Structure 1
Amino acid sequence: MTTTTSKKKPAARSKWFPLVWVIPALLVVLALVVVLAQWLRSLPEVQSFLTDYPGEVAPAEGTPVGFPAWLQWQHFLNSLFILLIIRTGWQVRTTQRPAAHWTRNNSGLIRTKGKPTKISIDLWLHLSLDALWVLNGIVFYILLFATGQWLRVVPTSWEVIPNAISAALQYASLNWPHENGWVNYNSLQLIAYFVTIFIAAPLAIITGIRMSGAWPKNAAKLNKIYPVEVARAVHLPVMIYFTAFIIVHVTLVLTTGALRNLNHMYGGGDTESWTGFWFFAASLVVMAVAWIAARPLILRPIAALTGTVSK
């Protein structure tokens, strides 16, 4: 009589397993940064530096005060689009078996030679959101320079650099700089907004176009100058940057006078009323609905308006 033994397969490790050690390690690093920053602030030389460079530079002459209504709407739309773009971008990168595919109809205003490429419905949504984000960004850039709001987010003096270091040290030591974003950003905020608007956003667009089907595949010289591998190597770090920026930005908004900060961008005033909070809460509801709605069951009929959807 023979017996057979079966070996049990090891349990599949959850994709969230790395967070078990990443999060505690990150908390330890943050605690060490705080201790180091507080020790540095006790040094006479550092105290003198903080006195000379308090963390902000006086705004340039003619810099507008406050946030106009168009900027409030732009802020909301940018927040909505970038949230969904990050989500769909991650889905495109990690999903191995998409729920559906989309193929563009080759009989509309835009026609191409050859057979249209079939892409996942996740990539279709990602590219569609990219187009809306770019269109919204064009409007944003035009209004930013037409109204003088660019003066609030573009450094106009080299003193911004030491003041940004000062602001970073103040944040790290948990003795945060005092500023009024309605009038002027501190130098660290200024640099962060400048990088986001004028460096990270264009990089996301340029690398995204290179990776998309719109890029000419037969342009040998152009492809040699700008290989797709370079675009892929830059595109993911840019997404990580946007994610980190959003987390830090929202955290600081809510921990440095939430009502006043929310009223600046959502309520259109420099007060601590609840108006901005309720508009902010409504925007979160819209984002949550859009997040839930971005699923194949709802996306299929929408995508079918511009192409053929297949499982």
Structure 2
Amino acid sequence: MATQPRSFRRGLPRIPGGDSWPAVVAAVTDAAGPVIADPIFPDLAVVVDPTPAAVSAPASVRAEAWNDAGTAPRSPRQGLPRVAGGEPWPAAFAAHPAAAGIHGDVEETAAAVPARRMGLPRAATTAASQAVAAPVAAPTTPAATSVDPAPHPLLPSTRTEQPEIAAQPTPPPNRDGRFSRGRWARAVMSGVGLMVAAGMVVALTRWFLSAKFMQDFLATYPGEYELPVGAPAGVPTWLGWQHFFTVFLMVLIIRSGLGVRTEKRPALLWSPRNNSDRKISMSLWFHQALDILWILNGIVFIVLLFVTGQWMKIVPTSWTVIPNAVSAGLQYMALDWPTENGWVNYNSLQQLAYFATVFLAAPLAIASGVRMSHVWPKKATRLSRAYPIEWARAVHFPVMIYFVVFIVMHVALVFATGMLRNLNHMYAGQDAVSWDGFWIFAASLVVIASGWIAARPVVLVPIARLFGKVSRG
């Protein structure tokens, strides 16, 4: 059966700047056997020789028949290397039909090779590999007329069939916040480890303090020194009220500061009446408003502190404060509390802690907060260059962490070293062991919790509108 050569439409090049693909366009000439048409590319056909002897003939006989057909072996275009820095693949593509097939035991003929290069299905390729290919017309393009002087065997494929592995179901992530058994176990073990470490610290400190030289040290420096003559005794009422206001404002300042730090997109904005373009978030306005109240309360506290002479109880007046503070710290670590007499005098460790909080941490918080607030003048170029905002940010947050640690340790020691007497000193203004100060302290906690809950837009917006304009973000 004679067929007319048909051209095969070529597609885009496989590499930038290359020839159209496929490089070789096959055409079917006079064929002795039936023509197998490709269902995907109708213009491409494979001629199958129906003679069974041709299939069962030895490879050498089929090679001679193929050479007698008068067709020259063609060298397909090589592709990219399979490994980095390697040779183009395949390195030596065979045109000899008797070479070993790409699939090992299946031998591919010269007609099967161009079929594979042109993207035939594996079924059509296998059918063609079981027959003797019919002669094909010589290629007409110059790129397709190259002839290999010595045919090379086909490279065996390293592709193997991999068994399908069933996907293992992954457990859903724990998003409800509940602890698993492993987390509970780790938490319990961590707690036990901390308790064991604390017990070892207490035991080592007690052993250290039992030495003769440390006994002499404790006798010389019991943990406190005598105050100057004329130092007042007791806790006045104004100091108790100042203490309550300071705690109330500090709790809300820490809450609002954390809100400002974690806020992504503010829902409400506040701007002063005389400058509508300068807007800040409602959270930042609330934080700064609390800061102003805290500063005013601190000014009143400092003035009354020096007027009444109470400053001598929290300002060191002797260098012996340092060894006495070391002595008090060691006694705390040994769980052998130093003598507490806060109605008259604080121990040296308390004195240093109060002094650092009032005269160091508070000014640092104010100076860094003002630099980051909207009250800082934008046109003060030299002042801003001398005091960069990055310095203020590097100081402000650590100072807040210090206040949190101080409050936690202060409350813990108040409860551990005589709760009723200590609360009476600060809240009831009396040096006695009764429940009066405790109930006043409990009422102050209710007020602080109410302020925490009330710090919401429904309460804050009407107050903010008294001092500026509130708009949606």
TM-score between both structures, scaled by the size of structure 2: 0.59
Alignment partners' CA distance in 2, 1:27 and 1:286: 34
Residue number among 257, 263, 271 corresponding to 1:95 in the alignment: 263
1:153 counterpart residue number: 314
CA contact (8 A) 2:424 2:431 kept: yes
1:175 counterpart residue number: 336
CA contact (8 A) 1:99 1:296 kept: no
Gaps of 5+ in 1: 107-111
1:69 counterpart residue number: 237
The one-letter code matched in structure 2 to 1:69 is T
Residue 79, structure 1, aligned to residue 247, structure 2: yes
Provide Cα deviations, 1:110-165, integer angstroms capped at 9, x if missing partner.
xx5xx542212111110000000001111111111011010111000000000000
Provide Cα deviations, 1:74-106, integer angstroms capped at 9, x if missing partner.
011001001111111111111223342222221
2:75 counterpart residue number: none
Alignment partners' CA distance in 2, 1:310 and 1:196: 37
Percent of pairs identical after alignment?
57
Residue 243, structure 1, aligned to residue 404, structure 2: yes
Alignment partners' CA distance in 2, 1:258 and 1:171: 16
CA contact (8 A) 2:271 2:280 kept: yes
CA contact (8 A) 2:340 2:417 kept: no
2:9 counterpart residue number: none
The one-letter code matched in structure 2 to 1:260 is R
The one-letter code matched in structure 1 to 2:213 is E
Alignment partners' CA distance in 1, 2:241 and 2:212: 46
Give matches, 1:161-310, under 5 Å: 161-310=322-471
Q: Secondary structure at the match of 2:280?
A: strand
The 1:7/1:121 distance shift into structure 2, 3 A limit, reads farther
Alignment partners' CA distance in 2, 1:167 and 1:221: 47
Alignment partners' CA distance in 2, 1:42 and 1:8: 56
Alignment partners' CA distance in 2, 1:308 and 1:149: 42
1:41 counterpart residue number: 209
2:228 counterpart residue number: 60
Larger radius of gyration: 2
Provide Cα deviations, 1:217-239, integer angstroms capped at 9, x if missing partner.
22222122211111111111110
Provide Cα deviations, 1:153-197, integer angstroms capped at 9, x if missing partner.
100000000000000000011111012100100000000000011
Gaps of 5+ in 2: 1-166
Q: Secondary structure at the match of 2:344?
A: coil
CA contact (8 A) 2:225 2:324 kept: yes
State the 1:29 CA deviation: 5.3
TM-score between both structures, scaled by the size of structure 1: 0.88
Provide Cα deviations, 1:262-299, integer angstroms capped at 9, x if missing partner.
11011111011221111111111110100100112221
State the 1:303 CA deviation: 1.4
State the 1:310 CA deviation: 2.6
Larger helix fraction of residues: 1
Moved over 6 A (4+): 5-9
Equivalent pairs, count: 298
Q: Secondary structure at the match of 2:270?
A: strand
Provide Cα deviations, 1:5-34, integer angstroms capped at 9, x if missing partner.
9999856696x99x969x747656544433
